[in-house]
């Protein structure tokens, strides 16, 4: 799994940072990806990545502020021109449907694929054989969600030496055993999946939060996450200003990661007042609170290692 930051600035774009969008690419063989927020010019950032719009199958919007969704209508329209673009699921707060339908009505845009719009509430909002996605409300100036993406447990490894010794022919039976199905050999011998497949591996957990003040749901969504993405709009020491605007400081993001026992924290959504040197210093200042913290930047790609 890979996480690509397509925009890491807050409020408005700068010369070095676009507004918010994050892409989560899923493991093979599907090779699809999901988007979390679609700030203005997200589709331009995608052009510089390996991600193609016909492989996009879900979009999750955290809240209805412009820097998180003004790029959505254009991206949806452009996807029409990609061969093989199939049904697309769109998830977000109340108002998302009227926003999209209003833009399309007045612009005359038409999609050649099915768009399924889901205005969500807290809880499990999507699940398939790959992932389960849980949403919870955060504390911001408008209704805002955070998302916890939980990879489904992965089947254990096949014991190839035992399979060969048992005379299991290479082919479809291996796949059935891997999926937990027992098989019967031509000689009538039954091979139990339990006997030739190792323990399943716990799936990875990625938490992507929208704009928020420190809150209990941020901790719950980030609990034991392999990777937590948390906003850090303001510098440490500006907690009062952050609270006024419904945001967090670098220190508050680090404190949330520590409380959640997250393995890794990436902070993003930086005010344009901060330059790269400023952000590096702000990161260094809070490493005593949470050591595994790093700053996102546009086009940054993170590999998310499998849980052990």
Binding-site residue ranges for Zn(2+): 63, 65, 67-68, 140, 211, 269
Q: Which of 67, 128, 187, 216 is catalytic?
A: 67
List the structure tokens of 115: 């768009």
DSSP for the chain reads -EEEEEE-BSSS--SS--B-EEEEEPPTTT--EEEE---TTHHHHHHTSS--GGGEEEEE-----HHHHTTHHHHHHHHTTSTT---EEEEESTTHHHHHHHHHHHHT---SS-EEEEE--SEEEEE-SSEEEEEEE--SSS--EEEEEEEPPBPPPB-HHHHHHHTPPSSHHHHHHHTT--EE-TTS-EE-HHHHB-PPBPPPEEEEE-S--S-HHHHHHHTT-SEEEEE--B-TT-HHHHHHHT--BHHHHHHHHHHHT-S-EEEE-B-TT--HHHHHHHHHHTTTT-SSEEE--TT-EEE-PPP-
List the structure tokens of 250: 């670098």
User: Contact, 27 vs 3, CB < 8 A?
Assistant: no
Residue 67 known to be catalytic: yes
User: Contact, 26 vs 2, CB < 8 A?
Assistant: no
Residue list for the binding site: 63, 65, 67-68, 140, 211, 269
User: Contact, 80 vs 49, CB < 8 A?
Assistant: no
Active site residues: 67
């Amino acid at each position: 799994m890979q996480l690509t930051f397509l925009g890491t600035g807050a409020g408005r774009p700068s010369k070095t940072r676009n507004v918010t969008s994050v892409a989560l690419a899923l493991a093979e063989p599907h090779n699809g990806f999901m988007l979390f927020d679609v700030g203005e010019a997200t589709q331009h950032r995608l052009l510089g990545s390996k991600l193609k719009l016909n492989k996009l199958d879900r979009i999750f919007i955290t809240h209805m502020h412009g820097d998180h969704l003004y790029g959505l209508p254009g991206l949806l329209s452009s996807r029409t021109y990609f061969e093989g673009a199939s049904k697309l699921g769109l998830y977000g707060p109340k108002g998302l449907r009227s926003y999209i339908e209003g833009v399309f009505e007045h612009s005359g845009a038409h999609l050649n694929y099915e768009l399924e719009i889901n205005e969500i509430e807290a809880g499990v909002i999507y699940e398939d054989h790959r992932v389960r996605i849980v949403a919870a409300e955060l504390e911001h100036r408008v209704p805002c969600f955070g998302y916890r993406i939980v990879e489904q447990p992965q089947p254990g490894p096949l014991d190839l030496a035992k399979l060969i010794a048992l005379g299991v022919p290479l082919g479809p039976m291996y796949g059935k055993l891997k999926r937990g199905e027992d098989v019967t050999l031509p000689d009538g011998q039954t091979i139990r999946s339990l006997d030739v497949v190792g323990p399943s591996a716990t799936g990875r957990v990625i938490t992507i939060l929208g704009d928020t003040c420190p809150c209990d749901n941020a901790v719950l969504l980030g609990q034991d996450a392999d990777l937590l993405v948390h906003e850090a709009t303001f510098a440490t020491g500006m907690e009062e200003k952050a609270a006024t605007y419904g945001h967090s400081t670098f220190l508050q993001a680090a404190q949330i990661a520590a409380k959640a026992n997250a393995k890794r924290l990436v902070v993003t959504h930086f005010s344009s007042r901060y330059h790269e040197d400023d952000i590096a210093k702000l990161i260094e200042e809070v490493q005593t609170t949470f050591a595994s913290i790093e700053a996102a930047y546009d086009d940054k790609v993170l590999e998310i290692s499998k849980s052990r």
